[in-house]
Amino acid sequence: MKLYIINPDNGQLVTPKDWQKEENPTRANFVVIENNDGTRFQMSKSRIADGARLTFDDAKKKAAEAEIDGYSGFNLGSLDNWASVYEARFIEGDMDLDGVLKLIGGDDLFNWCWVDRAFQSYSNAAWVFGGNRGNLGNGGRLSTYYARVFRAF
């Protein structure tokens, strides 16, 4: 697993080690997580809606409408995306995801966030992910949780 930062000037991927040399590293808005199978996705450094807690449907709508640094087509992140986010918090040797988010001025991962998937068997609930311990749970669609945006890269 590897982590990158998207340079907002040119869209190029930069390693966290190289991004540390930037005069203003907090201007970056995304982390790219590359899984061991080579698949990549980008995740926003911050929670959407100015960090407000949202219902599931509002979070999905805000994610779909988001446009950041010219990127669009976002969602709330799949179960697999969130599993990778948790795993990236414990990368050894290089800077882990918590360190990268701190470098670019992002929000921590310690709160429950919506996953981009409602329950199939119970339409009033959707998945939520707790980044602190990697817990997966369910929340009523009218409950409010935080949200981040994701997209394939």
Residue 121 pLDDT: 78
- Other Cβ atoms less than 10 A from the Cβ of 53: the count is 17
Residue 60 pLDDT: 96
Residue 93 pLDDT: 76
Residue 135 pLDDT: 84
Residue 122 pLDDT: 79
Residue 123 pLDDT: 80
Estimate the share of the chain in helix, then strand, then coil, as percent rounded to the nearest 5.
25, 30, 45
| Distance from C-alpha of 37 to C-alpha of 109, rounded to nearest angstrom | 24
Residue 24 pLDDT: 97
**Of 113, 27, 13, which is closest to residue 63 (Cα–Cα)?**
113
Q: Give the Cα-Cα-Cα angle 106, 74, 108 (nearest 5 degrees).
A: 20
Q: Does the predicted TM-score (pTM) go above 0.85?
A: yes
Burial of residue 84 (number of CB atoms within 10 Å: 0-12, 13-18, 19+): buried
Residue stretches of the chain with pLDDT short of 70 = none
Residue 99 pLDDT: 95
- Which helix (H) or strand (E) segment is 32 a member of? strand 30-34
How many helices (H) and strands (E) the chain has is answered by: 4, 8
- Residue 99 in 3-state DSSP? helix
As beta bridge partners, residue 13 has: 6
- Other Cβ atoms less than 10 A from the Cβ of 148: the count is 26
